[in-house]
């Protein structure tokens, strides 16, 4: 999966799965690849989120209240809610190995969505599906 183009990795993310190849390429132009050394915090629990991170290479550990709860590998991602609302991080994510991410900063992505309302609409549909699924799982 680490050899997959960023556009394909983005297309596998729930938030972006409704986008066309052309739209995914446009999203890619907004972000950049960032490298993190082992042990480096990528995001910290409780701090304001500044964007979305997609693991392109390496492994990162997810910690909640200092306890490891998950490991992320290429193709996995975090920060999609912070990309849209800038809210605080619910977990700390640290590089367990050398990690390369494709990162979308919220301040750039917001302007991109303003200029691309069809992409924003598709993302809203995906978020709505996720919200419906979450509501359904709590009521049944």
Whether residue 29 lies inside any domain: the answer is yes
pTM reported for the whole predicted model: 0.86
- Mean pLDDT, the chain, integer: 90
The range of the structural domain enclosing residue 98 comes to 6-107+115-134
Give the pLDDT score at 95: 98
> Does 52 fall in a domain?
yes
Contact of 65 with 18, CB cutoff 8 Å: no
How far apart (Å, rounded) are the C-alpha atoms in residues 94 and 133?
A: 29
Rounded Cα distance, 31 and 104, in Å: 4
Residue 95 class from Cβ within 10 Å (0-12 exposed, 13-18 middle, 19+ buried)? Answer: buried
Is residue 140 domain-resident?
Answer: no
pLDDT on residue 83: 80
Q: pLDDT digits over 62-118, tens only?
A: 999 999 999 999 999 998 888 888 788 889 999 999 999 999 998 999 999 999 999
| Count of domains observed in the chain | 1
Judge whether 1 lies within some domain: no
Is 139 part of a structural domain of the chain?
no
Q: Are 79 and 43 in contact (CB under 8 A)?
A: yes
CATH number of the domain encompassing residue 35: 2.60.120.10
pLDDT confidence bin for 54, thresholds 50/70/90: very high
């Amino acid at each position: 999966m680490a050899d997959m183009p960023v556009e394909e990795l983005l297309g596998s993310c729930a938030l972006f799965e409704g986008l066309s190849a052309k739209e995914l390429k446009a999203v890619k132009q907004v972000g950049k690849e960032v490298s993190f050394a082992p042990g480096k915090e990528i995001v910290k629990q409780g701090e304001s989120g500044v964007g979305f991170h997609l693991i392109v290479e390496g492994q990162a550990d997810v910690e909640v209240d200092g306890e490891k709860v998950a490991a992320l590998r290429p193709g996995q991602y975090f920060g999609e809610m912070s990309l849209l609302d800038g809210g605080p991080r619910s977990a700390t994510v640290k590089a367990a190995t050398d990690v390369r991410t494709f990162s979308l900063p919220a301040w750039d992505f917001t302007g991109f969505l303003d200029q691309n309302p069809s992409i924003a609409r598709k993302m809203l549909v995906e978020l709505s599906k996720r919200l419906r699924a979450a509501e359904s799982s709590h009521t049944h």
